[in-house]
Chains A and B, each alone.
Chain A
Amino acid sequence: MIDLKRTYDAIVVGSGAAGGMAAKELTEGGLEVLVLEAGPELNPSRDFLTHSWPYDMRFRGFDKPGDLEKYYPNQWLASEYSRQLYVEDAEHPYTTPPGKPYRWSRSRCVGGKLLHWGRNARRLSDLNFKAADRDGYGENWPITYAELAPYYDKVESFVGVSGSIENLPQLPDGKFLPPMPLNCGERIAQKVAPSLGLGMRVIPKRAAQRTVSIHGLVKCHYCGSCGRGCDVGAFWNSISDTLPAARKTGRFALQSDAVVREITVDDSGKAKGVLFIDRQTKKSYEAKARVIVLGASALESTRIMLNSVSRFWPNGIGNSSGVLGHYLMDQLFGPGVSGFLPELRDRRPVNEDGKAGGVYIEAFRNIDSRHPKFIRSYDNEGGSGARIFPGYASSLVGFGSQFKKSVRSYYTAPLSFYMLGETLARWENYVEIDKNVVDAWGIPVLKIHCEWGDNEHEMAKDALETVQELFHRLHAENVSVSKGIFTPGSAMHDMGTARMGADPKKSVLNKFNQTHDVKNLFVVDGASFVTSGGYGPTLTIGALSCRAADYIITQSKRREL
């Protein structure tokens, strides 16, 4: 157990994208920092089955029938290879109202979801930050792209993001390492996409995977198994990059297995520390600090605040506005199209999945002109080529030699895309504390209310239509269309619930991720988002965390906190 008698300069709750970056920046800026992580410290050589073959696994990678549904019903990416990276739902319950399911995925361990994330690292632009100015819906962020750009630069330069310069206003370019080359099918799609006349453009994935080694952080060796945890730390994952950097300063302490329950306040209502529970012994402890930084992931940070009730904060700390918990967003996810390119059939296989990524069809709706049926935009992520398991085999008719040959014939020809779209910030999508249910540590859980609306449904329809048209132009065979929008939460990009804003009556945080109510309390993860954007928030979370840390350092030196 770390030293609990001392008062740290800052406590950071969470060790993933947000918490890890805050820890690095704050310690490098001279602060003594304690990171509290709810889960254990994993051991990569034991817990990351990065290079295992299916036939190394007891159930060939499918896991024991029924196990995943039983222990990890909401952790839909958990597999026989990676389940140890995800929470067991029974210990971490939450509730939802009838008819409004939410699929909440979490990883409670040092590094959090960053251990296995999709590594899509794209910048938001003023098309997002000032979207309300453009179409009249919702609120603007209280920051501009120009204010965040230096922090995007800093994060990318440290963690390493591979990508290509594209000069797209809706997708600012970054400080890139060389992009990963495209596969044949991706090149063909790139060649054909402009011919639709929609402004469709296929570009390489912007991946937080290093294509060159930089300042002691190793480059990727293209084994394709990022989702199981990287045994060499070739992508931004906290445990190989931000946390070691923090440790190097000598001002860093980490307490894992520390489940934070609430923020404690002094007799003026200012934050003075946190109450946490030892994950294994269930004993309670208090840690004290001058500044509290929440980076526990959007909904967990908000949950901590809602559970931090005192006479000063009857509705949860930082919630004088009543906005805390509201404007929950995930991303529109599920609809997708897959097929086979005839010119890529019957080829000698080459390594096509080693880069564990592919391409984007960048957003082209509501960029230059207004779509009549929906506002904001979506994009598509996808890729081509042979994969380890021919899932499509079940969709090929027949048996025997002819069937076996058909599976092999199509093996090198797959192409598929799925959409990711912006969801609107709605007051009615919110989280609250469910006082009737507690988790394995006796902490009241969240009740999550979330439902998509017309804008999302129209957007999904358009995405399917346009990508199907692309597959038609490509003369793709055996095209399969997935229409269903996945349960909210499935994109694993929970955002909002403690949003930033200029107006303290309509927001929880100011432009520096500082709560309006409590000047020594900060929230640096996705909870701070005002709009969801059409793609993963992680790079923006890193940049916001970096910028907030900068502010904390300056303000601490001035004794303003």
Chain B
Amino acid sequence: MERRTALKVIAGSALAQQFGLSQHHLVKIAQDPSPYKLQFFSPVQNALVDRLSELIIPADDHSPGAHEAKVSFFIDLMVSNNKQEVQEQWLTGLKAVEAEAHSRFGKPFLECDARQQDEIMAKMAVHEVVSDSEDDSARTVPRSELERFFAQLKQMTIEGYYTSAIGIHQELQYKGNEVLAEFIGCTHPEHQH
């Protein structure tokens, strides 16, 4: 039986009552959520966040990207519920991106073509060093507002994408949060003791 159908059958059955299975996720995979109303960003700012997040996690032959996963709405929700200092960081960051687009290509970021947008993002990411050490002095201090904003943007894109149904089920194909009769574990002979 096809997996999604099987889940629907189980969810509606006595087994679901016994195990308290939520049916919410089935609905969310099947249809679009109700329209989200922006709470902090303007529609233009949201379009910019949307494009930037899609550049970080794009659609590919394996799965949709941040745009289809509506990551910008997640970012809007989190930023609108955050303190003023963080909200200002986002506004400053978006302004810096726009300033770069104007200075480099003479037009708004969203009017730049894919190659131009990629060039700007590359500049934002050029000094990205992720430290393995928790020792703060080992981290690179961002040299510009663009670089500072890149780290913030990337972190929120990761959080918004990999907690979405697209990120979890289509991109990563996570197999957990199920109801199993047995836990199977490793069955590969080459891994045995």
| A positions within 8 Å CB-CB of B | 44-45, 48, 50-56, 59-62, 64-66, 180-184, 186-188, 190-191, 220-225, 231-232, 348-355, 386-390, 393-401, 403-405, 407-408, 411, 478-484
Question: B173-190: contact bitstring with A at CB < 8 Å (1 yes, 0 no)?
Answer: 111111111111110100
Are A51 and B177 also in contact (CB < 8 A) when A394-B154, A403-B57 are?
Answer: yes
With beta carbons under 8 angstroms apart, the residue of A64, A183, A231, A348 that contacts B81 is A64
| Distance between Cα atoms of A164 and B25 in the complex (Å) | 36
9 new A-B contacts at CB < 8 Å, known A231-B20, A386-B172, A407-B172: A55-B168, A354-B180, A397-B128, A398-B128, A401-B60, A403-B56, A404-B65, A408-B171, A484-B134
B28 lies within 8 A of chain A by Cβ: yes
Q: Name 5 A/B residue pairs within 8 A (Cβ), A-sorted.
A: A232-B18, A351-B180, A353-B176, A394-B154, A399-B154
The binding surface of chain A is classed by DSSP as: loop
**Closest chain B residue, CB of each to CB of A399:** B56
A354 touches B25 (CB 8 A): no
A-B residue pair count with CB separations less than 8 angstroms? 182
Are A349 and B177 also in contact (CB < 8 A) when A182-B185, A388-B168, A397-B128 are?
Answer: no
B19 touches A232 (CB 8 A): yes
B176 touches A386 (CB 8 A): yes
| Distance between Cα atoms of A408 and B174 in the complex (Å) | 11
B132 touches A390 (CB 8 A): no
| Distance between Cα atoms of A407 and B58 in the complex (Å) | 13
| Distance between Cα atoms of A66 and B87 in the complex (Å) | 13
Are A404 and B130 also in contact (CB < 8 A) when A181-B183, A354-B183 are?
Answer: no
Are A394 and B134 also in contact (CB < 8 A) when A187-B193, A223-B179 are?
Answer: no
Please give, as numbers and ranges, the residues of chain A lying within 8 Å of B165 by CB-CB distance: 53, 55
Are A222 and B178 also in contact (CB < 8 A) when A56-B25, A59-B81, A232-B19 are?
Answer: yes
A352 touches B20 (CB 8 A): no
The binding surface of chain B is classed by DSSP as: loop
Q: Which of B42-50, B89-97, B105-113, B155-163 contacts A (4 or more CB under 8 A)?
A: B155-163
Are A400 and B58 also in contact (CB < 8 A) when A55-B25, A65-B78 are?
Answer: yes
Question: B32-65: contact bitstring with A at CB < 8 Å (1 yes, 0 no)?
Answer: 0000000000000000000000011110101001
Please give, as numbers and ranges, the residues of chain B lying within 8 Å of A231 by CB-CB distance: 19-20
Please give, as numbers and ranges, the residues of chain A lying within 8 Å of B55 by CB-CB distance: 399-400
9 nearest CB pairs, A to B: A181-B185, A54-B163, A231-B20, A60-B163, A184-B186, A222-B180, A65-B82, A351-B175, A187-B191
A478 touches B19 (CB 8 A): no
Please give, as numbers and ranges, the residues of chain A lying within 8 Å of B21 by CB-CB distance: 51
A408 touches B62 (CB 8 A): yes
A60 touches B172 (CB 8 A): no
Q: Which of B28, B162, B181, B186 has the most C-beta atoms of chain A within 10 angstroms of its own C-beta?
A: B186
B74 lies within 8 A of chain A by Cβ: yes
Are A184 and B188 also in contact (CB < 8 A) when A54-B168, A65-B78 are?
Answer: yes
Please give, as numbers and ranges, the residues of chain A lying within 8 Å of B99 by CB-CB distance: none
Are A221 and B19 also in contact (CB < 8 A) when A59-B77, A481-B132, A482-B134 are?
Answer: yes
**Closest chain B residue, CB of each to CB of A484:** B134
Q: Which of B21, B78, B132, B134 has the most C-beta atoms of chain A within 10 angstroms of its own C-beta?
A: B132
| Distance between Cα atoms of A51 and B22 in the complex (Å) | 6
B177 touches A225 (CB 8 A): yes
Please give, as numbers and ranges, the residues of chain B lying within 8 Å of A403 by CB-CB distance: 56-57
**Closest chain B residue, CB of each to CB of A339:** B132
Please give, as numbers and ranges, the residues of chain A lying within 8 Å of B86 by CB-CB distance: 65
